[in-house]
Chain A
Amino acid sequence: DTAVSQTPKYLVTQMGNDKSIKCEQNLGHDTMYWYKQDSKKFLKIMFSYNNKELIINETVPNRFSPKSPDKAHLNLHINSLELGDSAVYFCASSQMGAGELFFGEGSRLTVL
């Protein structure tokens, strides 16, 4: 049973389109995250939600909008996609204070 699951795993789209990535965790954690891994494998945090409240919002273009309908789900919507948005987006979850993050398998976004 997958602990942190993301859909879709692969997404190929044209510049200017709008797309969403969904994430769900069944670990009972109260905190969820979105990380972006670029082509050089560098991982950078984008957002974090704790019990549906935004607690971390790094310097990310406002074309990116996260939404957490409940503490088990965190979605990422991206408007007006650009070439530079091509990356692997990882969702993660943790229990606040526990430190360790559990990662999903990633969603590879390719913008043409």
Chain B
Amino acid sequence: AQSVSQHNHHVILSEAASLELGCNYSYGGTVNLFWYVQYPGQHLQLLLKYFSGDPLVKGIKGFEAEFIKSKFSFNLRKPSVQWSDTAEYFCAVNPPGGYNKLIFGAGTRLAVHP
């Protein structure tokens, strides 16, 4: 079945460590890609998105993601995490003809220790 996969379910880092969260999707054709963040007890907020153009996308709070079409991947990165980055991170795909229907991955829970 077509899906969005996030490989890391739970990541624990110390402050200042680098972060990379994996996301792969299995939809063919042109897709729109997103990373959302959900801080504890809050709603989802958009970190960044890719529609077309430069495959390296910069988002808010120092996050970036790289779209690699050949690998069907859209990994999220941050060079140096902070305690305030502790949250759940969701990759999402808007597949072709999808009526803006975002399909979400299972999420990655990131815990950053001071």
Could you tell me which A residues sit within 8 Å of B by CB distance? Answer: 31, 40-45, 48, 50, 55-56, 90, 94, 96-106
Return chain A residues, CB-CB under 8 Å to B90.
43
Return chain A residues, CB-CB under 8 Å to B34.
99-100
- A to B contact number (C-beta, < 8 Å): 53
Partner pick for B49 among A44, A99, A104, CB 8 A cutoff:
A99
Could you tell me which B residues sit within 8 Å of A by CB distance? Answer: 32, 34, 36, 38, 42-46, 49, 51, 88, 90, 94, 99-104, 106-107, 109
Task: Determine whether the beta carbon of B101 is less than 8 Å from that of A90.
Answer: no
Task: Determine whether the beta carbon of A100 is less than 8 Å from that of B107.
Answer: no
Task: Determine whether the beta carbon of B99 is less than 8 Å from that of A55.
Answer: yes
Task: Determine whether the beta carbon of A45 is less than 8 Å from that of B106.
Answer: no
Return chain B residues, CB-CB under 8 Å to A102.
46
Return chain B residues, CB-CB under 8 Å to A100.
34, 46, 49
- Name the residue of chain B whose CB is nearest to the CB of A98: B100
